[in-house]
Amino acid sequence: MSDSQILYGIRKNIAYIFFNRIEAMNAINRDMLEALDKALDRAEEEDLARAVIITGKGDKAFSAGADIRKLNNSMPVEVREAAKLAIKINKKIEDFKKPVIAAINGTAMGGGLEIAEACLIRIAVKGARMGHPEVKLGTIAGWGGTTRLPRLIGRARAEEMLLTGRSITAEEALNMGLVHKVVEPKELIDEAIGVTWEILEAGPIAVRMTLEAIRKGLGSSVEGSLAFGAEYMARTSMTEDFKEGTKAFLEKRKPNFQGK
């Protein structure tokens, strides 16, 4: 699949989605959101794609955020509808049944950072800057930033970023827990692939149930979350993968999971 603003392809069981507006720092407009939505649907439907890596084309930006020139000329109803679409897409990424990794190859601001925040894992290059400058434009982080950022880095730090509009370095983001790793630019995709395969080589049913337990648990009480963990552990014990994994451990060999 090749859209002028979104590029999509699969290589060795990983689907790659590229933001492709290099001349605009990969700023996101309505057409780009719709193309991203279609690319995610394709990645979810294709059995060959077992994980997704989202990144930007070029060496300057993951995405500078929403297209400000377009926003400036938009009616309030258009802003609302675009935000609703972005929220739907980011929720799709957050709830995706396959791992979604953000390879942050440069600047990630506003809506671009909100897409990264919805991903399972975020890896950034040295020199990347991240932030929510929306208040400096007279608006707010309405694509999910006010919801996800506090959950990722804590309320106090999130409030500072969201209320001041200050951008942070990749190293600051790492210290806050906003990104998982910071690497040299030439190492970014290899690092993202490496982390992805660490997940894919684990028991696929166990990975899926772990994600379900985490996601359901976050919306539940501590007691409810603990119950989900115990229930899903019991469910995995009924699978062939569980028998294979425990047997391989005892035999000191690599397990051969079949997802059954």
SS3 125: strand
Selecting among 46, 78, 81, 134, the annotated active-site residue is 134
Helix axes 204-218, 222-236, angle to 10 degrees: 170
Half-sphere exposure of 83 (CA within 13 A, CB side): 17
Half-sphere exposure of 136 (CA within 13 A, CB side): 12
Mark whether 244 is an active-site residue. no
Cα separation of 260 and 257, whole Å? 8
Cα-based distances in Å from 48 to 9, 26, 45, 81, 205: 11, 27, 9, 33, 17
DSSP string, 151-184: HHH-HHHHHHHHHH--EEEHHHHHHHTSSSEEE-
Selecting among 114, 117, 172, 191, the annotated active-site residue is 114
| β-strands 129-131, 107-109 pairing | parallel
Mark whether 191 is an active-site residue. no
Catalytic residue positions, numbered:
114, 134
